[in-house]
Amino acid sequence: MTIVQDTIRPPAQSREWKAIVILILLVPVLWSPVILFRFVLFQPFNIPSNSMAPTLMVGDYIFAAKYAYGYGRYSFPFAPSFVSGRFRAADPDYGDVVVFRTPKDSSTDYVKRVVGLPGDRIQMRQGQLFLNDIPVTRVALKELPAGSTCGGEFGGRVRRWRETMPNGASYVTYDCIDNGFLDNTSVYIVPSGHFFALGDNRDNSTDSRVATMGFIPMDNLVGKVTRIFWSLDAGGGLRPNRMGKVG
């Protein structure tokens, strides 16, 4: 006699064997070089805005190392929403350029620079970054034509600063205007399990200074930006001088 339940759902032993067979068949696929590189080690992204100029610019294509901070909900596509925490978790350092999702927009990848870690006091005063009430060291560099990086007409110029964090991380920031909207802020105290992120193009970046982004949970990290592997200008021409490691 056929049992109706068995025609709807196979016996447990049969299901277990099928699951084992499927896993065995998937092993070569999951550990193939392409799958391993794309979904486990590195993820490619392209840069759609100049909020991180001059470090990253429109037309740059980057790799983010997914293993740098461990694996969490946003490390893999189609991960279930109930996943929390990170496997092999590690926190970013000052100056790291990171890809992440925000609590208010979990479907979009953002890229910014980490400038504040849990417990830090962050403030902008007249365009200069203060970390724990101490100004972050910066040195003025030669001004350059702004182009489109400042959001205005071609022909303007942009001030540049060489900024150096307490751990020695050093990078260049853009300063488009004096006393811009985000050049003077209140003090932000970074909560536990979060970090504070800024764009290198300080007057043209939606970042942790803005309520729509705010503090970023560590668990929302996707990876650390390590390299520009391809770069094209507005006309589709190759920019080989931009390809290489990201500082």
- Residues marked active site are found at 51, 112
Tokens, residue 159 = 């001030």
Residue 161 in contact with residue 53, Cβ under 8 Å? no
Q: Between the CA of residue 132 and those of 52, 201, 211, what are the distances in Å?
A: 23, 22, 21
Q: Is residue 37 helix, strand or coil?
A: helix
Question: Which residue is associated with the tokens 């350029």?
Answer: 97
Tokens, residue 106 = 């979990």
Letter string b/e over residues 190-205, b meaning 16 or more CB atoms within 10 A of that residue's CB: beeebbbbbbbbbbbb
